[in-house]
DNA sequence: GCAAGCTATGATAGCGCTAACACAAAAAGG
DNA sequence: CCTTTTTGTGTTAGCGCTATCATAGCTTGC
């Protein structure tokens, strides 16, 4: 009889979790929607309202719940990290950087290995089925024109990392490879070296050409003739470095310094020098590129140029997240250059007798 | 006048996304809740009902929406991958494995670097603030007793990877280090080697002791006396391998084979042999451990034992996810052993003159 | 033979957030 | 001056799933 007694509001399911939009809204004296607008940086919010909400967010220590967000918005940011055997050291640093940014931005990172044998079409189909929004392309994939075109055709956003030739339709993050190579070469010249060998990198990576261009430009600038004999072709592997260095060191007038296009080949050059009975750096200066782990593994440790791989990965990931969010409001792809750092270690010195 | 006309149900927000529990429920002729029960493998579902639901799931191609799941259940699985400079190659493979499993299980992976200088307490506090449920511990962290204890005290689940000494309260995934070391040593013996050098690994990793034990056991088993002079201490770095190898090769009666506790030190042994004018493998056989990238970088390529690092990371991640889900129903920690593989390359041969 | 205890299932009400619409107040336009 | 448009904000209704409670049917036990 009479009214049924309404049961007391059930105790909340969640147990003492963080504050929600509602809490913030109450404190700021606005609706939850307005809080949402502020969080998502939407327009049409009075500056003073925005401030009030931001103060409330700070006061409550509110952090948006990503699950609720993506459920409500139906949005999701899935980024594939495509890789085809770059060196493990490179990949590892890259992964750490992009994973950090991805989780900070609440994006999902999928790591996909691309064997060279797999047809591009199959790969793209695989990405499609995983519902990928964007792809992160470290070298050498960043320079795979067919892949870039296929991704573009599928409407998958992409970011090329460390490419020498950014595509007009892709985001890109690189360092100034040519400038770095010039820097190294100039330093050799300034130290008194005149016969400077160069070990080129794999031609399937555009950065290789830039590094060579930097080397040549620095020589020209200093009035030193470019000598084809001093340029040996490598492919970024230790093995190729061994052969290239052997060729340079066998020259009747051998170089007093060698600039290898990456650390693996520079390390190989150290080994080749030792085999040839040359002391490094007294009789041969050697400089690498990238500052990967091998640079400090060999003896003497390599002078090299540090590429901020993790930072590059972070930036590239961020660019993709922003591009995904922009969605239809497609912003023009951005091409960023990050700073490199010359790192002097024990493998370089002025030429003997200077 | 008359009834207001109810506006037609607004078109769904989502645009042609996949099927939901409701779709499956309708097809199976049950309620959404029952579908949920089946998905989550809960009890109290009639076998035949379960079957019907499973058929419906297969028919519709239903895939649970992780965001909705974690929003509704309030659950989340946050796993931290703690690392303190293992080799880049190791970390990279590890990351790929655990990331793959984490995204398959819908867990969030946070990568945290632990500098040795950071007090354990500070690290643990950091994890707490990130709301970490579990931690993945690759070596050498897997053997850091203080860290293990601190994590346990905080109620953070953990999985040790490649440890030689699993804690009673932690999950662990390893290979049979001792067995692998025995295998290598036995093969040397079978090939005719009698003076077999050993380069031990860093004593801060328990696997080091196991590898040494395996080496000694194989010798004893073959009736070969253990000669302390043939055992050199290293610390897993290339540099330490250089010194250790130099010491072994300087012995009045030098070994015809050297078993290094990891590939870096084995690679260093190759270099030391070359410096000493010894041909590998004719005059000196060398075997490494781990099969990291450096094994195929040096010349000749290293014979070694492959540790399935990515698989171990995958398994460990899976164990943690299951442990998190078990929650209060704390299952006993599991300790798993994965298979290793002996990989014969160019750095080993029977001793000269046999 | 009926209270007490199971078991299998369903109904309901959110989880925290945001899309879509509603609506006042202000600005712009003729 | 009265439309139109714009702007800032609020209201409502879910997103897809699961915790919780309700409810049938079935066992038990004395």
A14 phi and psi angles, rounded to 5 deg: -75, 150
CA distance B350 to B187: 10
More confident site: B172 or A11: B172
CA distance A47 to chain B (A): 30
Provide mean pLDDT across the span B63-84. Answer: 88
User: Chain B interface, mutation test: which of A12, A63, A67, A89, most B Cβ atoms within 10 Å?
Assistant: A67
Residues of A in contact with B89 (CB under 8 A): 88-89, 92
More confident call, A1 vs B345: B345
The per-residue pLDDT for B330 is 62
Residue A351 has pLDDT above 60, yes or no: yes
B285 versus A5: which is more confidently predicted? B285
Cα–Cα nearest to B107, from B87, B135, B129: B135
Any strand C atom closer than 7 Å to A6 CB: no
Tell me, yes or no, if B39 comes closer than 8 A to chain A by beta carbon.
no
B293 vs A contacts (CB less than 8 Å) = 87-89
- A99 touching B (Cβ < 8 Å): yes
Residue B280 CA to residue B277 CA, distance in Å, equals 10
Q: Taking 80 as the threshold, does the pLDDT of residue A139 lie above it? A: yes
CATH number of B78-175+309-337: 3.40.50.2300
Distance CA A292, CA A301 (A): 11
Spatial distance from the CA of A293 to the C1' of C12 (Å)? 59
Q: Which nucleotide is nearest to B46 (CA to C1')?
A: C8
CA of A58 to C1' of D16 (A): 31
Residue B37 has a CB neighbour count (10 Å cut-off) of 18
Which of A6-15, A192-201, A255-264, B106-115 bottoms out in mean pLDDT, i.e. has the lowest?
A6-15
Of A219, B113, B245, B332, which is closest to residue A231 (Cα–Cα)?
A: A219
- Rounded CA-CA distance B259/B184 in Å is 8
CB of A190 less than 8 A from some CB of B: no
Mean of pLDDT values over B23-41: 93
Is A13 within 8 Å of chain B by CB? yes
Pair type for strands A335-338 and A257-260: unpaired
Instruction: Assess whether B31 (CB) lies less than 7 A from strand D.
Output: no
- Secondary structure (DSSP) of A132-153: --EEEE-TTGGG-HHHHHHHHH
Q: How much is the mean pLDDT over chain B?
A: 88
The CATH architecture annotation of domain A177-307 reads: 3-Layer(aba) Sandwich (3.40)
Q: In terms of DSSP bridges, do strands B304-306 and B341-343 run parallel, antiparallel, or are they unpaired?
A: antiparallel
What share of chain B in percent tops pLDDT 70?
94
Q: Which nucleotide is nearest to B71 (CA to C1')?
A: C15
- Which H helix or E strand runs over B260? strand B257-260
Q: Which nucleotides of C are covered by protein (CB under 7 A)?
A: 7-21
Strand C closer than 7 Å to the CB of B8? no
% of chain B surpassing 90 pLDDT = 62
pLDDT tens column, A71-107:
998 878 889 999 987 777 788 889 989 988 888 777 8
Q: What is the pLDDT of residue B4?
A: 33
pLDDT score of B162 more than 90? yes
Name the pLDDT band for A263 (thresholds 50, 70, 90): very high
Whose CA is closest to A181, among A193, A158, A199? A199
Interface residues 130-189 of B with strand C (CB < 7 Å) = none
User: Contact A199/A259 with Cβ under 8 angstroms?
Assistant: yes
Contacts of A105 in chain B (CB under 8 A): none
The average pLDDT across A54-77 equals 89
From the list A69, A71, A88, which residue is nearest B88 (CB)? A88
> Following CA atoms B108, B109, B115, B121 in sequence, which dihedral angle do they give, to the nearest 10 degrees?
40
Region A332-342 average pLDDT? 93
CA A332 to C1' D5, whole Å: 30
Calculate the angstrom distance between C1' of C20 and CA of A38. Answer: 18
Q: How far apart are CA A255 and CA A278, in angstroms?
A: 12
Cβ-based neighbours of A184, under 8 Å, separated by 6 or more: A214, A215, A218, A259, A287, A289, A305, A342
CB contact under 8 A, A297 and B99: no
Q: Find out whether A249 and A257 touch, Cβ atoms under 8 Å.
A: no
A88 touches B at CB < 8 Å: yes
* Nearest chain B alpha carbon to A98: B111
Q: How far is A192 from chain B (nearest CA, A)?
A: 30
Give the distance from residue A228's alpha carbon to the nearest chain B alpha carbon, in angstroms: 28
How high is the pLDDT of residue A12? 38
- pLDDT for B5: 32
State the Cα–Cα distance between residues A199 and A208, nearest whole angstrom. Answer: 10
Q: What is the DSSP letter of B300?
A: S
**Does the pLDDT of residue B157 top 60, yes or no?**
yes
Is residue B311 within 8 Å of B284, Cβ to Cβ?
no
Q: What is the pLDDT of residue A327?
A: 64
* A13 contact to strand C (CB, 7 A limit): yes
Q: Are the CB atoms for A128 and A173 separated by under 8 Å?
A: no
CB contact under 8 A, B95 and A100: no
Output the pLDDT for position B14: 41
Where exactly does CATH 3.40.50.2300 map onto chain B?
A: 78-175+309-337, 177-307
Q: Is B110 on the interface with A (CB under 8 A)?
A: yes
pLDDT value at residue A326: 72
Contact between A317 and A107 (Cβ < 8 Å): yes
Task: From residues 53-82 of B, list those within 7 angstroms of strand C by Cβ.
Answer: 68, 71-72, 74
Band of pLDDT at residue A352, cut at 50, 70 and 90: confident
Q: Is A270 on the interface with B (CB under 8 A)?
A: no
Give yes or no for A60 touching B (CB within 8 A).
Answer: no
pLDDT at B279 over 80: yes
User: Is A299 within 8 Å of B93 when comparing Cβ atoms?
Assistant: no
Q: Do A99 and B108 touch (CB under 8 A)?
A: no
Angle between helices A66-73 and B66-73 (to 10 degrees): 130
Residue A13: exposed, middle, or buried by beta-carbon count in 10 A (0-12, 13-18, 19+)?
Answer: exposed
In angstroms, what separates the C-alpha of A65 from chain B's closest C-alpha?
Answer: 8
From A11-20, B64-73, B158-167, the region with the lowest mean pLDDT: A11-20
As a whole number of angstroms, the distance between CA A42 and CA A100 comes to 25
Tell me which DSSP letter residue A327 carries.
Answer: T
**Nucleic acid strand C within 7 Å of B46 CB:** yes
CATH homologous superfamily for the domain A78-175+309-339: Response regulator (3.40.50.2300)
Residue-wise pLDDT tens digits, A198-247: 999 999 899 999 999 999 999 999 999 999 999 999 999 888 999 999 99
Q: What DSSP line would sit under B141-177, residue for residue?
A: GGG-HHHHHHHHHHT-EEEEES-SS--TTSEEEEE-H
Cα–Cα distance for residue pair A177/A173, rounded to 1 Å: 12
- Give B60→chain A minimum CA distance, Å: 16
CB count within 10 Å of CB A277 equals 8
Within 8 A of B292 by CB-CB distance, chain A residues are 88
Can you give the pLDDT at residue A354? 58
Q: Helices B47-60 and B32-39, interaxial angle, to 10°?
A: 90
pLDDT of res. A211: 97
Distance, Å, B333 CA → C7 C1': 32
What's the rounded mean pLDDT across residues B124-151? 88
In the predicted model, is pLDDT for residue A55 greater than 70?
Answer: yes
The answer to whether the C-beta of B21 is closer than 7 A to strand D is: yes
Out of A209-223, A293-307, B76-90, B187-201, least confident range: B76-90
Task: List alpha helices for chain A, DSSP H.
Answer: 21-28, 32-39, 47-60, 66-73, 88-104, 120-129, 145-154, 177-190, 206-221, 238-249, 263-275, 309-326
Return the closest-CA partner of residue A102 out of A308, A312, A314.
A314
pLDDT of residue B103: 80
How many Å from the CA of A152 to C1' of C2? 74
Residue A49, CB, strand D, below 7 Å: yes
Residues of chain A with CATH 3.40.50.2300: 78-175+309-339, 177-307
Residue B284 tokens, joined:
């000196």
Determine the distance between B73 (CA) and C9 (C1') in angstroms.
20
Q: Which residues in chain A have their CB less than 8 angstroms from residue B103's CB?
A: 108-110
DSSP, collapsed to helix, strand or coil, labels residue B93 as helix
List bases, strand D, within 7 Å of protein CB. 7-22
Residue B72 CB in 7 A reach of strand D? yes
Interface A:B, Cβ pairs < 8 A:
90
Residue A296 contacts B, CB cutoff 8 Å: no
**pLDDT score of A249:** 97
Cα B52 from Cα B36, distance rounded (Å): 13
Q: What is the mean pLDDT of residues A44-62?
A: 92
Band of pLDDT at residue B327, cut at 50, 70 and 90: low
Which position has the higher pLDDT, A282 or A325?
A282
Across the interface, whether the CB atoms of A111 and B89 are under 8 A apart is answered no
**C-beta of residue A142 within 8 angstroms of C-beta of residue A120:** no
- Are A275 and A98 spatial neighbours (Cβ–Cβ below 8 Å)? no
B206-220 pLDDT, tens digit per residue, is 999 999 999 999 999
Number of residues written out for chain B: 354
In this prediction, residue A6 carries a pLDDT of 33
Chain B partners within 8 Å of A237 (Cβ): 297
């Amino acid at each position: 009889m009479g009214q049924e007694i309404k049961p007391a509001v059930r105790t909340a399911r969640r147990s003492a979790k963080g504050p929600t939009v509602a809490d913030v809204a109450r404190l700021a004296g606005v609706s939850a929607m307005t809080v949402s607008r502020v969080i998502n940086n939407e327009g049409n919010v009075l500056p003073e309202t925005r401030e009030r909400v931001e103060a409330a967010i700070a006061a409550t220590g509110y952090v948006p719940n990503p699950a609720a967000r993506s459920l409500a918005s139906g949005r999701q940011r899935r980024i594939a990290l495509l890789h085809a055997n770059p060196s493990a050291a490179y990949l590892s640093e890259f992964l750490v950087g992009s994973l950090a940014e991805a989780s900070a931005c609440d994006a999902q990172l999928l790591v996909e290995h691309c064997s060279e044998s797999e047809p591009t079409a199959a790969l793209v189909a695989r990405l499609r089925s995983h519902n990928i929004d964007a792809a992160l392309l470290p070298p050498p994939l960043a320079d795979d024109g067919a892949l870039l075109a296929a991704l573009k055709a599928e409407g998958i956003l992409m970011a090329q990392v460390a490419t020498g030739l950014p595509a007009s339709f892709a985001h890109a993050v690189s360092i100034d490879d040519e400038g770095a190579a010039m820097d190294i070469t100039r330093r050799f010249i300034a130290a008194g070296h005149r016969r400077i060998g160069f070990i080129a990198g794999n031609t399937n990576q555009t950065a290789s050409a830039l590094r060579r261009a930097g080397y040549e430009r620095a020589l020209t600038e200093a009035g030193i003739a470019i000598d084809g004999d001093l340029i040996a072709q490598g492919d970024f592997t230790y093995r190729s470095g061994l052969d290239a260095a052997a060729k340079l060191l066998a020259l009747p007038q051998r170089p007093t310094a060698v600039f290898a296009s990456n650390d693996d080949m520079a390390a190989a050059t150290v080994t080749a020098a030792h085999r040839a009975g040359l002391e490094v750096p007294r009789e041969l200066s050697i400089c690498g590129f990238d500052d990967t782990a091998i640079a400090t593994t060999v003896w003497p440790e390599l002078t090299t140029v540090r590429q901020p791989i993790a930072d590059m990965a972070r930036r590239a990931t961020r660019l993709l997240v922003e591009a995904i969010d922009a969605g239809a409001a497609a912003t023009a792809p951005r091409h960023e250059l990050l700073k490199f750092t010359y790192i002097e270690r024990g493998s370089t010195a002025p030429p003997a007798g200077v």
